[in-house]
Amino acid sequence: MVKTGLKDKVALITGANHGIGAASSLAFAKQGAKVFLHYLRLSPEEYGGISQEEVDKATEPGRGFYFGQISQSAEKVIGAIRDEGGECESWESDLADPENVPQLFDKAEERFGQVDIVVNNAAHDRCDTFIPLSELEKDPLFLGEYPMRTITAESHNEHFAVNTRAVVLMIEEFARRHIDRKADWGRIINISTDGAYAHASNVSYGASKFAVESYSRAAACELGPYGITINVISPGAVQTGWMTPELEKAVAGDYPLRRFGKPEDIANAVIFFASDQAAWITGQVLHVGGGNRM
């Protein structure tokens, strides 16, 4: 059995009420880590332009089902961890507000002590494009499910506030506290996307993630002497409830491994980067996507 060295470490995971964040939280708990979950419930009506009635009726993956997932609390994840004897706590907050970043660390430290591991997974994703509205009206849906809008200052700022600025501030906050207490072991794992290089039809999401990859490499150079490794996971398409079965079947055939990812596939890579086995790896972007990008 591989010894990860994660027992009794404190892991702070953002966006942990569903999908990759939830799977990562459970994976850390199984390794004996103490887990602090951050999350934010998003309104289906305000965030997705979909009625609560449609969400309540959704029984299989797709738009309605997905917006039901992101509107839930972290209680299911917390319950699953505690049922297995794990230690966890949570706090709901919007990381678009910079003041919530130090508060998040304060709350984690009040409960478990110093934070050893940060997983920056929380994300804002509402499709925008350079196509003008007059043309967009002819074909307004991304993958036939999600409405697109022409990029604006607002859509740009919404993505970069959560996907980039919050991640940067999480790195800075972790580094300052780590260095102040003269710690010598730390892990930061940032979640990107394999569409970061150029994400047509979802341009601000992709660009905000690409910026995180640059920040991560710079931080790895600067913080390595303090014992902090910083790595990025770049997932391919992961079924977190957003793809209809028909869409998943149609597109997965283009992947070399002939399937889309599961949240657990990404969680496995997160655990690796946090573990002792990855002690001499930093500043790297690992594509975890069934061979979709090599």
Please give the positions annotated as active site: 205
Residue 91: beta bridge partners?
Answer: 38
Closest CA to 61 of 136, 143, 147, 148: 143
Euclidean distance between CA atoms 257 and 97, whole angstroms = 39
Closest CA to 22 of 200, 240, 205: 240
Annotate 166-219 with DSSP letters as a single string. Answer: HHHHHHHHHHHHHHHTT---EEEEEE--TTSS--TT-HHHHHHHHHHHHHHHHH
Residue 173, CB-side half-sphere exposure with 13 Å CA sphere = 23
Confirm if 193 and 235 have CB atoms less than 8 A apart.
yes
Euclidean distance between CA atoms 212 and 61, whole angstroms = 29
Euclidean distance between CA atoms 210 and 191, whole angstroms = 10
Annotate 118-162 with DSSP letters as a single string. Answer: EEE-------EESS-HHHHTTS-EETTTEE-EE--HHHHHHHHII
Residue 15 burial by CB count (10 A; 0-12/13-18/19+): exposed, middle or buried? Answer: buried
Euclidean distance between CA atoms 23 and 206, whole angstroms = 23
Residue 187: beta bridge partners?
Answer: 117, 229
Confirm if 201 and 129 have CB atoms less than 8 A apart.
yes
Q: Name the residue type at position 64.
A: G
